[in-house]
Structure 1
């Protein structure tokens, strides 16, 4: 038993160390996080599909106006989202947009403020997406049509904060590739359920996105030149794909384009206020991961399964085996080595430790349950919508 336990712990740490080395090597080659030139920022169109419901929405939107000053913002709000319209209206008014109100206009309000230094904000009110059409992509296509070919189309989720230097990394990535995508990281949550989500992302993102050649993108933050996005047909060919990140990545690669994975973070704050909310969120992510794997070659599926599916079973084996054998040594060694390796990755990639030991451990132990849930339960709740998912391009609302 002791030899088996030591072997399982050693295997876990060897795999984790290998991924750490690969991630750090990729991070060292990624575009640098630098302050972008003002003229480059002025060509960026920050497009944000907005849906109310999270208490941090207004703060996140305002933070991006400050950090990305000089860019043009396009906020896409559902016509029937009264709270979302109130939030953006408050921001537009407070930034000197005069007497025009997003809540009063049928489609669009454009605001340049009372001076050249005010944020450039456009609010577009979006009708409901037809059945079988991705609501996020349906919002993005009209916004793309109003852009100039020499602009950069930057998609940013409404709960995501993009530091200015991370924008510099994305723009640097566009000098190397057709599409540049960011690296998600969560700010500390206020509830135990938020901490579990936070640790799931913070302990996996760099070790998942960086070591391998990109098979998808981080849908929370990515950028393309408008001309390149139009060259692959924009969003129209992929409107019926549920997973917008995978659909965009596939469109780029089918068109002969390339993807640059940056190693500069975008900071996310999402309120997760109940166990049900936590389970629904992880279920959706795992179902999307299942859809991704179904579209990959067998070799890629095997590599992803080994690199990212082996850790939780090994951790469970060492935890249970150590308890049954009353030999804590292998478990202590595994947890100590795991902590050290995560510290190294976090400090090198994010500039600080994001590791919370207990939530981190729990989030890894429950991953197999979430993965199984995503594989068998094909109905997801996506904010205010419920979908029955049969395939990435075959989904329908549940009424």
Structure 2
């Protein structure tokens, strides 16, 4: 049984990686008449991460022709300080800072800011970019090219090396799964959601569908925006170009809260899929961690030398597949073999936690979640 589980794991991993690499290698950036000056990059900001100023500055430096719109809360003194200093240092740049009161109860705070900022956008393209995300020039060009064939375009997140163990554990989870989650099924179906950390859309499209008004009460903004675009007959285009995310995870509770949110959001996404799609998602993403964990437990129970030789060989092949995929899609990323393995083995536990516990801590609030458009503030 151990060998069957190991073989099944490697087959599924190889299928995911093969499909992802096939899509990435065959992808070409489409031509566009849009220039960087046609873009407003909107960033809803909530301070708390020590890297905030560096991320905002790096985006200013990488995209000098774009307009920027930073959306901050009235009571966020650190965000006021950071944005004021950057405005003083970059007087020649086109930067708007908009200040907002707290979002009403049961309203998505990110979408609340974006909807209120919408009337200030005068460029043909809006890019929504999280405050922990860096957008390289090449990735932005890919997004603009994709908008020649779609109403919304998105990219792939990968995480920068962190300063502590928990940040690196989170990074390993994202980097191992990002390309293999977003890309493999694109050759048989459209994107089921978007990367909410970075997406681009035509402002004319946004105006035609009434902005974000109809989804303000949705908890997961990426799924809400994807559903909104599709509900109005729009097309979503997934590019294989990366955006770098840098998030500091200071404590184990912060790590658990982050993973709990992501897995609960994944459950909400699967509720909206057809049975066939859910079966594919379960096969490609749900079964492999379980098979890997079961195989390792059997090896511990039967610690024969040939069993452990099989395990070591499988883990080496696993690492080779992951490194190859990440090198092609993201460029060279540092691998932490133990953390990479641990992050995968923990996935079934994170899923169980999300199934059993529907209360999440997100930003400054606590929500009891019933569905994407049905949640209560606690």
Tell whether the structures are fold-level matches, with TM greater than 0.5. Answer: yes
Pick the aligned partner of 1:151 from 118, 124, 128. Answer: 124
Q: 2:36 aligns with which of 36, 41, 44?
A: 41
C-alpha deviation, 1:330, in angstroms = 2.2
Contact 2:30 2:148 in 1 (8 A): no
- When normalised by structure 2's length, the TM-score is 0.95
Aligned to 2:107: 133
Which structure 1 residue ranges, 5 or more long, are not aligned?
A: 97-117
Q: Which of residues 357, 360, 366 is equivalent to 2:337?
A: 357
* Superposition map of 1:115-134 within 5 A: 118-134=92-108
* Equivalence for 2:366: 386
Q: Tell me how far apart the structure 1 counterparts of residues 209 and 12 of structure 2 sit (CA, whole Å).
A: 38
Q: Is the 8 A contact 1:31 1:173 kept in 2?
A: no
Matched residue of 1:129: which SS?
A: coil
* CA separation of 1:58 and 1:33: change in aligned 2, threshold 3 A: farther
Q: Which residue of structure 2 aligns with residue 99 of structure 1?
A: none
- Asked if structure 1 preserves the Cα contact closer than 8 Å seen for 2:30 and 2:146, the reply is no
Aligned counterpart in structure 1 of residue 312 of structure 2, from 325, 328, 332 = 332
| Contact 1:322–1:330 (Cα < 8 Å) also in 2 | no
Q: Which has the higher helix share?
A: 2
Q: Does 1:317 align with 2:290?
A: no
How far has the Cα of 1:31 moved from its partner?
A: 4.1
Q: Which residue of 2 aligns with 1:5?
A: 2
Structure 1 consecutive aligned stretches of length 4 or more whose deviation exceeds 2 Å: 28-34
Aligned 1:108-119 pairs, distance under 5 A: 118-119=92-93
> Aligned equivalents of 2:130 and 2:295: distance in 1?
38
Question: Alignment length, in residue pairs?
Answer: 371
C-alpha contact (below 8 Å) 1:184/1:268 kept by paired residues? yes
Q: 2:78 aligns with which of 83, 102, 109?
A: 83
Contact persistence 1:180–1:222 (CA under 8 A) = yes
Tell me which residue corresponds to 1:269: 246
Question: What does residue 106 of structure 1 align with?
Answer: none
TM-score, normalised to structure 1, is: 0.90
| More moved, 209-218 vs 382-391 | 382-391
Distance 1:252 1:64 in 2: 27
Cα shift at 1:32: 3.0
Residue matched to 1:308: 285
Contact 1:74 1:124 (8 Å CA) reproduced? yes
Measured in 2, the distance between the counterparts of 1:368 and 1:24 equals 26
1:60 is the counterpart of 2:55: yes
2:13 to 12, 16, 19: 16
Which structure 2 residues correspond to residues 275-294 of structure 1 after superposition, within 5 A? Answer: 275-294=252-271
The answer to whether the 8 Å contact 1:342/1:355 transfers is: no
Match of 2:140 in 1: 167
Measured after TM superposition, the shift of residue 33 of structure 1 is 9.4
| Partner residue, 2:162 | 189
- The separation in 2 between residues aligned to 1:33 and 1:165, in whole angstroms, is 12
| Secondary structure, counterpart of 1:241 in structure 2 | coil
